[in-house]
Structures are given as structure tokens and as C-alpha cells.
Chain A
Amino acid sequence: MTQSGNGNGLALAEKYYSQYGSRARELKAAGKKIIGYLSALGPVEIMTAAGAVPLRLKGNVSEAITKGDAYMETIVCPFVRNVFDAAIKGKYDFLDGMVLPHQCDSIDRTDDVWSDTLNLPYWHFLNVPHVTDEPSIEFMKDILRLFIRTLEEFTGKKISDEAIAQAVTAHNENRRIMRELYALRKTDPPLVSGAEMMKILVAAMSLPVDESRALVRGVTDEIKHRKLPSSGGKGPRIMLIGDQIDDVAIIEAIEGTGAKLVMDDLSIGSKMYWNDVEATPDPVQGIAERYLRKLKLPTTFVGTGNTYQETLEARFGHMKRYIEEFKVDGAILFVYKFCDPYGFEVPAIKSFIESAGTPVLYLEDEYSTSTLARLKTRIEAFLEMIA
């Protein structure tokens, strides 16, 4: 167990952020099985129940892709390419296995590139559907059960329903505590900066659930005791929307101008923490529903509304609620190039949020700091515009 609650939570988050995966490496040395996964669709409850340590993989935005392009086309989304590049350069050489959820074409179509190149002992492609109707829930349960079975074969241990139920409780608790921390961003100025928050989020996704919970608990306690500065709430309050943004570089570009990042709709952030798994008699049912229906990713088709407006509300309504709760002045929609799921949503998201009176800056870019200089001008101009 990591020590926390003794005032070093932020320092610990900083450490796990800057040495990403170091804790998993330690746990591996201590005999744990480490399973890497990509995207918010990785069912961590099941991996936890299997006794493994789930590690969400990230790349390195300040490192150029040098090896990966020999294996993977540049039309694959830059996030996936960067993580792959990091993986073949050995950043994750301690992994026992990986699970790739069917999130998007960039992941689906490179499944064999990953598995053949990395050649890990355990490999699983989790074929998550894109639709949320009843048959899809049934199917999701089927493929989750298959996933459970392959994990059992790999670890040689049965994964009981009780173990899954326990893992569900642990992850729900982890989410609840993270939401508590998020609540500290509602003040003006927010008690916790966007950059700090990013480091905590990243650190959390690299830890086993108990350690993540302890870390976030500790950090929250520390931050709660901060004093709100009497002045200084002047910069605009920003929400960041996107998929896998897991580095402070862009946040520092935002906050460097005096603006404050107060909320996100990121797949490593609120998307992950805003919806719990319901404790159902068959625990797989609750997990299937959470990942397919509650997790608001652009990779699931939602067509429940009778009118288009209702459909939009179902897809993006939560963002409007964030804007109210966190008093957001402007939103930045950051989409990676070659990302079809997000790319096709841009006009809809933009007009949906703008119709509520919140300006949106849309950025399309690489997973890299090399283009940040150009982005900065846009971000700054946007902030000047809404100031």
C-alpha cells in the first residue's frame, strides 16, 4: 500500500504522473500480473477481480514517433500511434498482457499490428458494440463473459461473481471519491488547478483501485484545507472536451494565460468517473450497462430520442449540466486528427454547446507538443475573445 493521508498525496501524484507506470513495474516485481488496456472501455472491474493490475496505457506527447511508423500507417489516430511507438520502444516491457477494447477504427484495425509486434503472453480484443439497444446489452454480456473466461485461463484462477461484485464496489468508491475532488473545482478560483487535476487523473489510472482510492482521498484532504485566495478569480473558466488527453502541456497552455480549467469531458476524466456500475444480481449485467449505456463515448450510437433535440440531449446533455455546475465560461473541444468517432461529432457538439450560450473553440491536432506553439495562439486568442 502506498502511504497517503499524511500530506504527500500531491507529491505522490506528481511522481506517478512523471514516472508513468512505475508503480505497476514495482507491483510486477512483487509478482502481480499487469494488464495494459487502451481507452475508457477497458472493463477495469473484471481485471481487478482477476487479481490483476489494470494499467491504462498512455504515450508521451513530447516524444516524436520514431519507430512506430514502420509498422502502423500514419492515418491511424496520433494517440494510438504514439502509445504504440512507446510500447515498441519498451516503455511497457513489464506487461503480462493487454486488452484492446473495440473503441474505434484506429484501435480495431491495428489489433493485429499490436498483438503481432508486442507478442505478449496474454492478448484479448474485446469486441464492444457501438449500439446500445437490448440485443447489444445481451451481446456485451456475452463478450464480457468471454473476456472473463480468457482471463481465468490466463491466470489459472476462477473469477467468482463475488470477486466481481467486490471489484465493482471498490471501483464505484474510487469514482465517488474522485467526484468529491472534482467538486473542489467549483469554487472561484477553483481550489485545485487543471494541471494538478490532470496529474492526479493520470496517476490514478496507473494504480490498482485501492491505491488510486487512497491517493485521491489523500489529495482531496490536502486540497480541502487550502485557503481560497481573496482575489484572483478573474480568468475565464474553461472546460476541456476530448478523448485521450493525458498530459499537462495543453492545460498549461490554457492556464498559463490566467484562465482556469475547471471541468473536463475527457475519457481519462469525468467520462470515467461520472457513472457507476450498478450492483446487479448478475454483476456482469451492471458492468455491461455501464460501459455501453452510461459511459458517454462518441463510439456508441445513441438514437433513443424521438426528436433530434432529444437525441442531442441524450448524447451531450451532461456537458450542459457541467457548464452550469462548474460555471464554465468557454469550452475547448480538442480532437485528434484521423479520429472518426469524435471528428464526425464536431458540428453537433459545437452547436449544442454554443446554443446554450457558451463559446466553443474547436482544435484538431496531433498527440504531440511539437504543434503546441501553433495551438497556443489559438487558445490565447480564444481566451482573449471570451475575456
Chain B
Amino acid sequence: MAHALGLDIGSGYSKAVICENGVLHSFAVLPSGGDYKGAARRVTDMALQGANLSFNDIVRTVATGYGSSMVDFADHFATDIACHAAGIHHLFPLVRTVIDVGAQFSKAIRVDEAGRATYFLLNEKCAGGSGKFLQIVARILHITIDDIGPLSLTATKPVEFTTACAVFAESEAVSRIAEGALPADILAGVHKAMASKIVNLVTRVGLMPDCAVTGGGAKDAGLVKAIEAELASPVTVADEPQITAALGAALIGAEQAATGKR
């Protein structure tokens, strides 16, 4: 049995996926916590354990993501753009537009029928509109990341969030609270501001259905809803959207192993 390992070492989280003959076998997710090298090893071990395998069973390892260059045991490195495209194509072959919301960057990617990226755009130079923005606000509100989505869905009147800066978002959140705004409404406001930034990227790459949201941000139901509202069209979300790029990396590895590419 040919097993391929895909690793997505993101600035926020490290993700590992093991595929067996092109099918997802096991996966693991872990905060990167600054130590990309260590996180890569740990998340690999977790995924191996989950699959009851040892590293020797892996025929090929492909790494991607911000910290991928730290993965000294990878056979190949691929960009996260290509991995997102490959991963989403495997899950939803009809998807032509991918929105990836990661910890540091948000991306819009156009994918062709073969699962290749044809055009992409990122938010650059500014962390506004990225997952970091949300993390910071969540910290101020004293809630965990997992609670963001559900809580924001209970919002009744989203607070208009005008700051785009992830760092000043903090003080804006603080003053909104001081004005008596509810956490749910604040989160919904942040979602709205983020969604409009993200949708600007999508407008620029050109929205083509189907559209999927991936990355850790896709786990946030409130954000996904805001993106749908801003796009005025529904989006697809995988069960485990955060591992899409790792899955794509594993699939690329499997393909390379099959075609004997070095």
C-alpha cells in the first residue's frame, strides 16, 4: 500500500494528512507555536499514530505552507496555492474558485477542471482581513477560537467595524465593548469587514461557481455566512477545511510517487 504524507506547516497551525492510494487515511492538526520544525515532527507522528503506521511506510512526503522550508524530512515542496487547488479538486471537483482564510493571509484562487491553480491573489503587506484579525478580537473578548463562529451567529445587529488593522482592531473592539456592544455583534462586525476584504480579492480573480472556502477560517461558520452574504452566492465548505492544503500536498506526493517523479 502506498502511503503519501502531506504537511501544511502554516504560521498558525501545522497540519498533516496521510493518503493511501489517493484516499484520505488520517490527519492531525496542531498549533505551530513558532517551532515549525518540531511542530512538523509532532503533527507527523500524530497522523502516523492515527493511521497506525510508521514513517517507513511513507513513500513520499510533500510539505507546503509558511514554515515548510523547516521540514527537513520532506521529499518535495509545493506552494500552498497548488496544494489548495489540488486538495479542493479532490474533494469537490466542480469548484472553480477557492477562498482560503489562513492565519496570516487570505487568498482567492481560481482552479481549472484539472485541479490546477490558474490565477490567485493574496492580501499583502497588511494582516487586516486574515485569521489573525479574528484571533486578536477573540482574545479581547475572552473567548476561544472555536466559539467565534457559533457566537457570532447569534448576532442581531452587527457592529460596524471600520478598522482594517489587525492590531488596532483590538482597541476598536475594546471601545465598542465600552460602548456596550455585545460580543456576538462585535464578531459579526469583524466578519463583515473581513468578508468584504476577502470578497474584493474574489472579485478581482473573478468569481466562478462553485466556490469553496478553505483554511482555518472556514471553520468559522459566522465568517462563512458573511462571505456568502457579501458574494451573494452560496459557498461549499469541507468537513475539515483546515487540512485542505495538507490533503493536496499528500495527493501531489501520491501522484509523484505513482509517476516515479523525483
Contacts and interface: CB of A to CB of B under 8 A. Distances in A.
Chain B binds chain A:
yes
Interface of A: 62, 64, 66-67, 69-71, 368-371, 373
Interface stretch (B8-16, B88-96, B196-204): B196-204
Given A70-B203, A71-B203, 17 more contacts: A62-B162, A64-B160, A64-B162, A64-B164, A66-B200, A66-B230, A67-B196, A67-B203, A69-B197, A69-B200, A70-B199, A70-B204, A368-B162, A370-B162, A371-B163, A373-B171, A373-B175
Contacts of A373: 171, 175
A62 B199 CA distance: 20
A371 B175 CA distance: 12
Contacts of B161: 64
B137 interface: no
Contacts of A370: 162-163, 172
B196 A66 contact: yes
A70 B162 contact: no
Contacts of A67: 196, 200, 203
Contacts of A64: 160-162, 164, 193, 196
Contacts of B193: 64
6 contacts: A64-B193, A70-B201, A70-B204, A368-B162, A370-B162, A371-B163
Contacts of B200: 66-67, 69-70
A302 B211 CA distance: 55
Interface in B187-219: 193, 196-197, 199-201, 203-204
Interface in B155-199: 160-164, 171-172, 175, 193, 196-197, 199
Interface of B: 160-164, 171-172, 175, 193, 196-197, 199-201, 203-204, 230
Q: Considering residues B161, B163, B171, B175, which has the most beta carbons from chain A within 10 angstroms of its beta carbon?
A: B163
A70 B172 CA distance: 25
Nearest to B172: A370
Contacts of A371: 163
A368 B172 CA distance: 14
A371 B204 CA distance: 27
A370 B176 CA distance: 12
Q: Considering residues A62, A70, A368, which has the most beta carbons from chain B within 10 angstroms of its beta carbon?
A: A70
Contact of A369 (B162, B164, B230): B162
Nearest to A369: B162
A182 B193 CA distance: 40
A369 B196 CA distance: 18
A371 B200 CA distance: 22
Contacts of B163: 370-371
A61 to B, nearest CB: 10
Nearest to B126: A74
Contacts of B196: 64, 66-67
Contacts of A71: 203
Contacts of A368: 162
Nearest to B163: A370
B201 to A, nearest CB: 8
A77 B200 CA distance: 18
- Return the 3 tightest CB-CB contacts between A and B, nearest first: A370-B162, A70-B203, A66-B196
B99 to A, nearest CB: 14
A118 B161 CA distance: 27
Contacts of A369: 162
A295 B78 CA distance: 58
A344 to B, nearest CB: 23
A66 B171 CA distance: 21
A70 B200 CA distance: 4
Nearest to A368: B162
A373 B175 CA distance: 10
A125 to B, nearest CB: 24
A71 B202 CA distance: 11
B253 to A, nearest CB: 36
A217 B44 CA distance: 78
B169 to A, nearest CB: 11
B205 to A, nearest CB: 10
A371 B203 CA distance: 27
A369 B163 CA distance: 10
A370 B203 CA distance: 25
A373 B161 CA distance: 14
Nearest to B192: A66
A85 to B, nearest CB: 10
A59 to B, nearest CB: 13
Q: Considering residues B161, B196, B201, B204, which has the most beta carbons from chain A within 10 angstroms of its beta carbon?
A: B196
A333 to B, nearest CB: 23
Contacts of A70: 199-201, 203-204
Contacts of A69: 197, 200
A368 B203 CA distance: 23
A373 B230 CA distance: 28
Nearest to B171: A373
A67 B197 CA distance: 8
A369 B175 CA distance: 14
B200 to A, nearest CB: 4
B129 to A, nearest CB: 10
Nearest to A61: B162
Contacts of B199: 70
A368 B168 CA distance: 15
